[in-house]
């Protein structure tokens, strides 16, 4: 398989690429990574792949139809996995337009290029071609405590500009399958965590702020509930859907780990207290501060991942306890990676949380 991955220098994309190229007996002949390298796209995430002859990096935008068409043709692409997206809720509240440009217009142009390429493929390559779109549980809106988790049939009720832009892109992917027959797949995931997570997100922000002696800002009462999915489990699920999923279908991917944000923060504090205790003997929990809640903050997300388990046999390998310990250990060992981002790519005063 020759695979085009978009947004592969970001958090989830880079973990997916590394997993695919490190797997023994991988079916990949070539993996082309198209990334425009916005603030969250970091080539250092994949620096260890520089010597892999199967890996090709292309600097560019999914909204550039000429470039995308050239990559598809030049590398005889068999499948596209679209990770490229603006994904930070706080940023979308401050400035919605970039989210529309990337997540909606960019996805539309990528779909157009893929459709034109696919239409000219000979059989059986045409029948085997796939376009997999990676999306989020936030398209479904918010759940009250005790309500059933989101299934693939849940109505879209996005509550932030980010979520609305992703919902629009999901609808476009569905429309291209229904109208043109383009063989598409969509995945909607819960909150990811793990190595290479950009420092503005909740878990890495709390780890790094704690180690630097800064406040640990928690929105509102901290009782917003999220389902947490270890990124390597997510990457495995995407690959499985790409290979075995039914075209035109959506698959929800979740970690079966519903937890309130304040519990996540306290778990991180406890782990750091064991692995890297403060020199002054105080607890990391003493750094927790409660800040004004985000406008329109969704109270609860929860994914019902029964469909992917039933149809494809997938389930997460990591519990939250094992996954969060691996994550804390990774950040303790990779302080230089995080320091490089916060000092060179993203001003410290803008660091916030996406929860």
| Positions marked catalytic | 137-138, 162
Distance CA 271, CA 280 (A): 17
Tokens of 85: 């997206």
Residues with Cβ within 8 Å of 286's Cβ and at least 6 positions away in sequence, in order, are: none
Give the tokens for residue 328. Answer: 């804390």
Q: Which helix (H) or strand (E) holds 55?
A: strand 55-59
For 54-59, the CB contacts below 8 A with 24+ separation are 54/21, 54/28, 54/29, 54/30, 55/17, 55/21, 55/30, 55/31, 56/30, 56/31, 56/32, 57/32, 57/33, 58/32, 58/33, 58/34, 59/35
Which tokens is 241 given? 């859907």
Cβ 345 vs Cβ 209: under 8 Å: no
Among candidate residues 103, 111, 302, the one with its CA nearest the CA of residue 188: 302
Neighbours of 133 (CB within 10 A): 26
Other beta carbons less than 10 A from residue 303's beta carbon: 27
Query: What distance in Å separates the CA atoms of residue 77 and residue 90, rounded to the nearest whole number?
Result: 35
């Amino acid at each position: 398989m020759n695979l085009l991955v978009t947004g592969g220098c970001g958090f989830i994309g880079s973990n997916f690429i590394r997993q695919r190229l490190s797997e023994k007996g991988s079916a990949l002949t070539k993996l082309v990574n198209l990334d425009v390298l916005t603030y969250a796209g970091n080539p250092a995430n994949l620096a260890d792949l520089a010597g892999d002859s199967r890996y090709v990096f292309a600097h560019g935008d999914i909204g550039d139809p000429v470039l995308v068409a050239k990559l598809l043709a030049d590398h005889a692409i068999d499948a596209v996995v679209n990770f490229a997206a603006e994904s930070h809720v706080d940023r979308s509240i401050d400035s919605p337009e970039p989210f529309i440009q990337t997540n909606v217009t960019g996805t539309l142009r990528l779909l157009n290029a893929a459709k034109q390429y696919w239409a000219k493929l000979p059989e059986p390559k045409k029948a085997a071609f796939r376009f997999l779109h990676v999306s989020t549980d936030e398209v479904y809106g918010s759940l009250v405590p005790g309500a059933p988790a989101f299934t693939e049939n849940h109505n879209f009720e996005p509550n932030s500009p980010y979520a609305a832009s992703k919902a629009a892109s999901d609808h476009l992917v569905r429309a291209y399958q229904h109208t043109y027959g383009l063989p598409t797949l969509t995945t909607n995931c819960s909150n990811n965590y793990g190595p290479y997570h950009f420092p503005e997100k909740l878990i890495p922000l709390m780890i790094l702020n704690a180690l630097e002696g800064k406040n640990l800002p928690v929105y509102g009462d901290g009782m917003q509930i999220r389902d947490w999915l270890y990124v390597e489990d997510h990457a495995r699920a995407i690959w499985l859907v790409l290979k075995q999923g039914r075209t035109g279908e959506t698959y929800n991917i979740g970690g079966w780990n519903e937890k309130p944000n304040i519990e996540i923060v306290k778990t991180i504090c406890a782990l750091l207290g064991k692995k890297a205790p403060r020199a002054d003997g105080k607890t990391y929990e003493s750094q927790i501060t409660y800040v004004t809640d985000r406008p329109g903050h969704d109270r609860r997300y929860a994914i019902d991942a029964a469909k992917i388990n039933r149809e494809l046999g997938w389930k997460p390998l990591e519990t939250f306890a094992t996954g969060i310990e691996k994550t804390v250990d990774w950040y303790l060992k990779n302080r230089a990676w995080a320091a490089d981002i916060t000092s060179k790519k993203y001003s410290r005063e803008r660091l916030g949380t996406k929860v």
